[in-house]
Structures are given as C-alpha cells and as structure tokens.
Amino acid sequence: MKEKRYRLADGGIITASTATEFVRKLHKSSYFESRGTDNEYMISFCDRYHLLFGKAVNISTPESFLSDLLEQRYVEIIE
C-alpha cells in the first residue's frame, strides 16, 4: 500500500500505509501513554478526546478510529 502523510492537530506528522500503522505510530509518539496495547491506547485517547472536545471517536477498528479523526479534522492528509 502507498504511504500517506498525516498532520495532527498539534502539528505532528505521521507517515503510515495503513490505519493500523497510523494507530501504532500515534501510540508510540504519545506524551500521555506509550505503553500497553494499541487498542488500550485508542480507548484512552478517545476518553481524553471526549473530555477536551466533547466528541466521540469510534474505536471499534483502527480504520474507524482514523476515519473519525479525519472527519473531525483532528488529522488531515497532506501531500
């Protein structure tokens, strides 16, 4: 698969070819939580995101997680 570059709301950049890879890299770069599983990270991220922005993020799959973050403009695809 072709890699895509994503810009996070905090200005960080993640390059990933799949949603699973995106979540893994986001997890590893986390200031709050770099341990545990990627699924545990998505749950914690969702909780923090809801507290900060009042919006829910679907964490059923990495694909839905990334899709929601793109839709809510927390993440954008850059060329």
Q: What are the distances in angstroms from CA 21 to CA 14, 25, 61, 64?
A: 9, 6, 12, 13
CB 34 within 8 A of CB 45: no
Determine which of 31-35, 41-45, 46-50 has the lowest per-residue pLDDT on average: 31-35
CB 47 within 8 A of CB 55: no
Mean pLDDT, to the nearest integer, of 19-41?
A: 90
Confidence check: pLDDT of 18 > 90 = yes
pTM score of the predicted model = 0.91
Query: What does the pLDDT read at residue 47?
Result: 95
Residue type, 12: G
Task: Give the containing element (helix H, strand E) for 40.
Answer: helix 38-53
Query: What does the pLDDT read at residue 25?
Result: 96
* Percent helix, strand and coil across the chain, each to the nearest 5: 45, 15, 40
Q: How confident is the model at residue 30 (pLDDT cuts 50, 70, 90)?
A: confident
